[in-house]
């Protein structure tokens, strides 16, 4: 087996707040192979964005800090690079697409300049050439009339169009890895599907790997090769997408599935939301973080934290009862 493109090892990111230290990401490890799409799912506040931002060292410090771990990208630890080193990776080898298309583009700069900027920066291309490339990229993300759009500003675009611009920007330097943090959450349902399909198509075409962050398991089934399920800043289950979908081995994953409509399944099945609130990361209980909301929870779950174990080949679960859940 060849080494993965990205290998996150035991990543822990904390925030110091008035309420105490928030362990937003706590001992997270996963791999992304070249060309593969890895989905990270979980409820709001489970640490998905913090994981993504940690990879590019974009955590605002203070209050945040990457306390420990390794982020090996093409064999190099990104956490050990100097300032210039990490800047050379950002936007060039690893690009990021953010959740909020309305606020993630600079209102005072033209679209052409913003899309062409990574090319000008990393390829040292003169602006005229970078803008040519930007026009081409806008065409790729199906913004009609790319050339004349170069001099327009973000406020002249709809949310979906802006997200296309973000995608064009991310693709500019043909990165090996694109991190898309809930790229469609802020968009209309009809636009969501278009954007995701476009993203998938373009990453496949460029042979880029993708980390797709979402809380929509329907999206996962369709676009991801593998899935990481996060809860309370930790990974609770990870498996190939198909396998996870067929036999979830963690009660939280099951809960998530029951709470969204299945693409393939019976439409009569009632939707059951997970009861209770996501945990407060500043005051996590000693045992399993999901125990307070878990129907299967035993005494052991409340006192001892279940480790992430290989429950089936390539299928890891952090539940004491992973075997029972599968049967």
Partner 1 sequence: MQAYIVRRVLALIPTLFFASLIVFVTVRMIPGDVIDLMLSQNDIGASKMGREQLEKALGLDQPMWIQYGRWMGAILFHGDFGRSLWQNTPVNEQLLQRLPVTFELGLMALIVGLSVAIPIGVYSAIRQDTPGDYVARSFSILMLAVPSFWLGTMVMVFPSLWWGWSPPIQFVPFSRDPWGNLSQMIIPSIILGCALSAITMRLTRTMMLEVLRQDYIRTAWAKGLGEKLVVARHALRNALIPVVTLIGLQAPLLIGGAVIMEQIFVIPGMGLLLLDAVSQRDYPVITGVFLIVGVAVMCINLIVDLSYGLLDPKVRYR
Which CB atom, from 91 or from 306, has the smaller least distance to partner 1?
91
Q: Tell me if the bond preceding 63 is cis, omega within 30° of 0.
A: yes
Residue 322 is a binding residue for ligand ATP (CB under 6 A):
no
Residues 4-63 that bind partner 1 (CB under 8 A): 56, 58
d(CA 10, CA 30): 9
Inter-CA distances, 66 with 49, 58, 80, 106, Å:
13, 10, 12, 27
Which CB atom, from 49 or from 114, has the smaller least distance to Mg ion?
49
Position among 121, 198, 282, 326 found at the interface with partner 1 (CB under 8 A): 121
Which CB atom, from 90 or from 140, has the smaller least distance to partner 1?
90
DSSP 116-139: HHHHHHHS---HHHHHHHHHHHHH
Question: For ligand ATP, which stretch binds (CB under 6 A), given 46-54, 117-125, 201-209, 311-319?
Answer: 46-54
Which does residue 63 bind out of Mg ion, ligand ATP, partner 1, none, counting CB within 5 to 8 angstroms by kind? Answer: ligand ATP
Residue 118 is a binding residue for partner 1 (CB under 8 A):
yes
Position among 18, 75, 82, 107 found at the interface with partner 1 (CB under 8 A): 107
Q: What are phi and psi of 208, to 5 degrees?
A: -90, 150
Residues 19-58 that bind Mg ion (CB under 5 A): 49
SS3 237: strand
Residue 169 is a binding residue for ligand ATP (CB under 6 A):
no
d(CA 242, CA 246): 6
Give the residue carrying structure tokens 């990543």. 11
Which does residue 44 bind out of ligand ATP, partner 1, Mg ion, none, counting CB within 5 to 8 angstroms by kind? Answer: ligand ATP
């Amino acid at each position: 087996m060849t080494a993965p493109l990205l290998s996150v090892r035991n990543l822990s990111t904390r925030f110091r707040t008035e309420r105490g230290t928030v362990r937003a990401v706590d001992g997270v490890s996963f791999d992304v192979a070249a060309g593969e799409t890895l989905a990270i799912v979980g409820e709001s506040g489970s640490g998905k964005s913090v994981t993504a931002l940690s990879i590019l060292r974009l955590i605002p410090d203070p209050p945040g800090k990457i306390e420990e771990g390794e982020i090996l990208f093409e064999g190099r630890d990104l956490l050990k690079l100097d300032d210039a080193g990490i800047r050379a990776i950002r936007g060039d080898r690893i690009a990021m697409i953010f959740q909020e298309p309305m606020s993630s583009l600079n209102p005072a700069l033209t679209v052409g300049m913003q899309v062409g900027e990574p090319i000008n920066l990393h390829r040292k291309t003169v602006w005229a050439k970078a803008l040519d490339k930007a026009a081409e990229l806008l065409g790729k993300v199906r913004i009609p009339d790319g050339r004349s759009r170069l001099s327009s500003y973000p406020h002249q675009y709809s949310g979906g169009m802006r997200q296309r611009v973000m995608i064009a920007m991310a693709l500019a330097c043909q990165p090996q890895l694109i991190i898309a943090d809930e790229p469609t959450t802020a968009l209309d349902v009809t636009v969501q599907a278009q954007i995701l399909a476009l993203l998938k198509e373009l990453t496949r075409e460029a042979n880029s790997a993708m980390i797709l962050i979402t809380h929509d398991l329907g999206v996962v089934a369709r676009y991801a090769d593998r899935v990481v399920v996060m809860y309370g800043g930790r990974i609770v289950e990870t498996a190939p997408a198909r396998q996870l979908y067929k036999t979830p081995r963690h009660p939280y994953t099951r809960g998530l599935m029951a709470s969204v409509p299945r693409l393939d399944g019976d439409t009569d099945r009632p939707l059951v939301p997970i009861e209770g609130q996501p945990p407060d990361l500043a005051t996590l209980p000693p045992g399993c973080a999901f125990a307070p909301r878990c129907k299967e929870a035993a005494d052991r779950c409340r006192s001892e934290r279940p480790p992430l174990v290989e429950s089936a080949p390539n299928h890891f679960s952090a539940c004491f009862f992973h075997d029972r859940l599968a049967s």
